[in-house]
Structure 1
Amino acid sequence: MDRKHIVFLKVAELGNVTAAANDLNIAQPSLTRTIASLEQSFGAKLFLRQPRGMELTEEGRVLFRHLKDMEAVYQRACRDVNAVKTGYHDAVSIGCGLTYQLLLMPDILRRLWNDFPQSSFQVLTGSADDHARALRDGELDFVITAAIEKVDDPLIEVTRLCRIEHGVAYWPGVLPELPEDRKMPMEALEDLSWVLFQTEPQLKTSMEKTFYQLGLAPPRIALTTSSLQLGLELLKSEGMVMSVPTLLRDWLQERGYRLHATSEPLWQLDSGIAMLKANGDHPIAEALVRHARDLVRSIPVFRAHGT
């Protein structure tokens, strides 16, 4: 990247000229001249000089967003050039929700290790919002997300995998026993304490809307968590119920729990793989999408949700 852009980003991130100059190992007057030159070239003030430090103006915030995108693309370009030179990527970071970590990632990783034996992979969990931000900032290379609508960016390409629906999970005896393929009536879910297995506010909003439209009392949300283990412990010990992707039915039944779709969906959303468009033609990107699609088509629990 251009030196003056690096200087601008460092001052914006640290909010202090002296700290930025020290971090970049350049003289403070030289850094100040660089910022002044950049402001002159744009014909706009990029920073407000405040007693507590440097604060971005509205024009500065626009430039910062674009330069962060450029920085992420440049870093990927450096890494990809090195990968072509050496024949492999040193490390690939993949953001993945817990549902896909449990059901899909082990098989995907086995295939990727076979295709790229010298590459190392890092898989990180988190919310869809966290993953989208990390992807834009260059902290993740790929994201397998259960909420592709969160990734709305012209620089990002999304490949749809399947539709995900949240149902109700519970310990036997808490709700009426039903055949596996029967949907749980929404009326049976009134006056229960809920654990929400998600941190996205859209789930709670969707549930409250569904209960309201059916004339039911609002759901009583006792806990919202990204920890499936914590939620399951509470289902067993406290008789609570939990909103969980119906894809996890078999996985939960193996552990003694029950999971049913509901007569009205608690929440529905499309899932898929997201990556920067600049990475779309890379061999690992092509392999990841191909393997994920093949597995979604071949694993029964995914086939039932459509590709």
Structure 2
Amino acid sequence: MDQLLSVFISVADKRNFSRAAEVLHMTQPAVSQQIQQLEKHVGAKLLLRTNKSVQLTKAGEIVYLHAKEITGLYKRMSMLVNELNNEPTGPLKIGASYTFGEYVLPHILARMKNLFPNIFPSVQIGNTRDIAKAITSHEIDVGIVEGEISLRNIYIKSVSTDQMYIVAGGKYPIYFNKEVTRRQVEQENWIVREEGSGTREATETLFQSLQIRPTKLMEFGSTQLIKEAVEAGLGISYLSELTVKKERMLGTIQVLNVKGTPIKRNFSVITESVELHTKSMNLFIELIEKYLKNQLLQ
């Protein structure tokens, strides 16, 4: 059954029998036979062939969703059994929100590569909502996100806190005020992240905390792009201490002195049930905790 599901997933992903056969190192007739066996087993047509591609039927969509979960759990089971008496090895699928993924994760991966060269990480970067969804659909093994997470059947562990600052470009006029009032920041152009990101959630929380309602908002889908815009004087933003450390040292971005800031938020690791943690996952989480602890001590 595991083989049938793997073949079906490949055909569904490639939307083509020939391309799936190439990836699976099988002949096209063999792939077609496997699909027919699976359809006979579940008692429903799973794929519709057209001249150019293959489409999932309604039954196919249901089987595809559960097949991904089943094969993911089977691989996890095999890895857990294998790791009982062996060194951690094999793939580790990691998901991270933009702030953590772009500014912290590369340092941790470099450390892990030096200590455990037989662990092979792959990384998916997305906003907090995307990473949480990837955990629940078994697309990744472990996720690192910022902000509050409220999901059932998910293991959540806070690993560090993060300071959030209102920032402006080094030559931005509002910076030269000794203390910036809430009214002043409310009237400024705000450069914010998209809905669903941890940084956007933190920004909305900030607005509530300061009791302001800025009306001039510009949404950008990247923290790096926001920093560039802030440096250029396009507006102000609310960013993590980790993301602006270098720019503050260079003087291209400055923190605004606004009463009620900075505000702390959590970095959290999210996974499935802790009982399903592999050695690789636990070692990776330990490396995260050690790295962030050292950063706070600096």
1:158 and 2:156 are equivalent in the alignment:
yes
Residue 64 (structure 1) shift: 0.7
Identity over aligned pairs, percent: 19
Taking a change above 3 Å as real, the CA distance of residues 64 and 106 of structure 1, as seen in their structure-2 partners, is closer
Residue 159 (structure 1) shift: 1.9
Out of 165, 168, 171, the position equivalent to 1:170 is 168
Out of 215, 227, 234, the position equivalent to 2:229 is 234
Alpha-carbon deviations, 1:209-255, whole Å to 9, x = none?
948x946451331x504142x43333233352122124556554323
1:160–1:270 CA contact under 8 A, matched in 2: yes
Q: How many residues matched?
A: 293
1:134–1:140 CA contact under 8 A, matched in 2: yes
- Between the aligned partners of 1:121 and 1:49, the Cα distance in structure 2 is 35
2:165–2:261 CA contact under 8 A, matched in 1: yes
Moved more, 83-92 or 157-166: 83-92
Alpha-carbon deviations, 1:94-115, whole Å to 9, x = none?
4444543577547645764565
Alpha-carbon deviations, 1:133-176, whole Å to 9, x = none?
665677754332225638x574x533222455644211244324
2:189–2:235 CA contact under 8 A, matched in 1: yes
TM-score when normalising by structure 1: 0.68
Name the SS for the 2:282 alignment partner. helix
- The correspondence of residues 266-285 of structure 1 with structure 2, limited to 5 A, is 270-277=266-273, 280-285=276-281
Q: Quote the residue 1:26 is aligned against.
A: 27
- Between the aligned partners of 1:20 and 1:283, the Cα distance in structure 2 is 32
Gaps of 5+ in 2: none
- The correspondence of residues 1-307 of structure 1 with structure 2, limited to 5 A, is 2-17=2-17, 19-20=19-20, 24=24, 25-28=26-29, 31-48=31-48, 53-76=53-76, 87-89=87-89, 92=92, 94-97=94-97, 99-100=99-100, 104-105=104-105, 108=108, 112=112, 115-116=115-116, 119=119, 125-129=125-129, 131-132=131-132, 140-147=140-147, 149=149, 152=151, 154=153, 157-162=155-160, 164=162, 166-172=164-170, 173-177=172-176, 185-197=181-193, 200=196, 210=207, 214=211, 216-221=213-218, 224-228=220-224, 230-246=225-241, 248=243, 251-256=246-251, 257-260=253-256, 270-277=266-273, 280-297=276-293, 299-300=295-296
Taking a change above 3 Å as real, the CA distance of residues 103 and 4 of structure 1, as seen in their structure-2 partners, is closer
2:163–2:241 CA contact under 8 A, matched in 1: yes
